[in-house]
Structure 1
């Protein structure tokens, strides 16, 4: 699963194997971690410049502080303006007949040097996934009936 946090015990094992000269491929196969995850922790370990003995003496909380810090990416003012526009846009999209293209036209009227339609849709998709996470519901086939009303009136 993507972006799943790694146990501190696994991080210790990664660093132990790496300190003992094992390859990254061996470590990833042995611990059932992706190669990129192994590379990430090894590169952080090398940047810190600490020995494995010092890392091994640290508690799990201290180790988590060392290895799980996330750096905030700086967002350009243009992109921040776009992200500030999205909540307004989302309310507009709930109205009948409003499309993403029409909201983009309104956005361009407000911000003439703003993003074009392709980047506008791309950033909206990213923003919507972050703001409106999806919960998949498992159900038995034929157990319930769901009716999807597509439009403002039923015929």
Structure 2
């Protein structure tokens, strides 16, 4: 229990409430409440110093005095609101206070409000800190499992690579197979994913592939030039997963595993004669995957995506067109060669890299 005698004594010396709370090992709210009650009954240190601790307590807090009843917020609804873009605890606390004033109820202070929310999160789900806001992030990666296509001329198996894009909030996914993991395939996959989702997330989170990220260190992240142009065209920000931090891409890593089981494994005994044929089969399985009911909660990825879609940024008028960048040294004949064709440049660039 707080030392009310010491609070009154220190206040009489002109000590600030903050310093009193530190000296008496109690909160500033307690100090303010004690001084307010003391002022209400005209109890000052001059008259209180001759009273016992019990007498001071009984005067400040008369026996039988009803304790204030604070309105407990609906933290289930508050946590749901926290999943929306731009919503903070400070905003929700202000709205909660307005509702209490309108209903004539007593609201908690922000510190207590925030504490109860943290307790709610810990009690109800220890992994709630991994929740994502709708329309915030699109996570992308190549699946570890490949699908083979049979060459109709030679009968040889051609390996294909599977691109996966996931919206962590809803779990809604896009899947497409490519013959290569080169820059063109990587870029085309993103363009098609945005078209499939019908919008753009605010953040694009890839793994640290060379087609996306040139260099990642503790102090610097260098984004591939083509990938940066793609991000600028769609108005999104590229924030790669940190090296050796799988929790940064937990959703896509999990979804890649699910996709490998649900889509790719189910097609393991099917022979495909073209990439188009393979992607048609993947598209059919993808519809089933996104509409499959969740195992541990109600609804499906498609149902959750219908709520998330309104939070996506609009697509640009035209899709991004790939530009391949190369570096060449200008020869003495003031020409550069690319794709077996020569192009002239101003002679001032001789022996310079362009």
User: TM-score, normalized by length of structure 1?
Assistant: 0.39
Name the structure where strand makes up a greater proportion of residues. 2
User: TM-score, normalized by length of structure 2?
Assistant: 0.18
Name the structure where helix makes up a greater proportion of residues. 1
- Rg: which structure is higher? 2
